[in-house]
Amino acid sequence: MSIETWKKEFYPIDACEILDKTDADVVSHSLKKWEGLKASNLKKHGVKKDGGIDGIVVFDKDENEHFTYNWSTCALCLKFHYRVGCGYCDTCPITISGGLPCDETGSAYDTSCSTLNPQPMIKVLKFALKHVEEQLKTKK
């Protein structure tokens, strides 16, 4: 097991490749990525995590290969912050469902990065996914 097997399970598709998918697909992509930071999943693939306020890095035992958790690997950031061109997170499902924008102090992202605990992000992403799915049902 390695960083490559970890990526195959938790980041099988690059974030920029799913931007035309549904909002639910984009949130699910982010959720899967964050679930990869659970201790059991890191252990299963023999990888470690480190980081801080600017992001989290998953790396192999030799620290030769790594994966960084930040805006560049976040389908939500790429679709709703950068692609829309507004420069804000107003249209992100996390924000729309009541969460703080990730760049704000005290947000789920800020807390997850500063504590190296994925649970705040997993929780907010599950809530955002539920919100997006409910919106889809009301549109039908």
Instruction: Spell out the domain ranges in the chain.
Output: 3-139
Residue 38 CA to residue 35 CA, distance in Å, equals: 6
Low-confidence ranges of the chain (pLDDT < 70): 53, 82-87, 140
**What does the pLDDT read at residue 57?**
92
CA angle 71, 75, 81 (to 5 degrees): 60
**What does the pLDDT read at residue 87?**
61
Rounded to the nearest integer, the mean pLDDT of the chain is 90
**What does the pLDDT read at residue 84?**
57
Query: Which of 65, 64, 90, 66 shows the shortest CA–CA distance to 77?
Result: 90
Whole-model pTM?
A: 0.91
* Sequence-separated (6 or more) residues with CB below 8 Å from residue 139: none
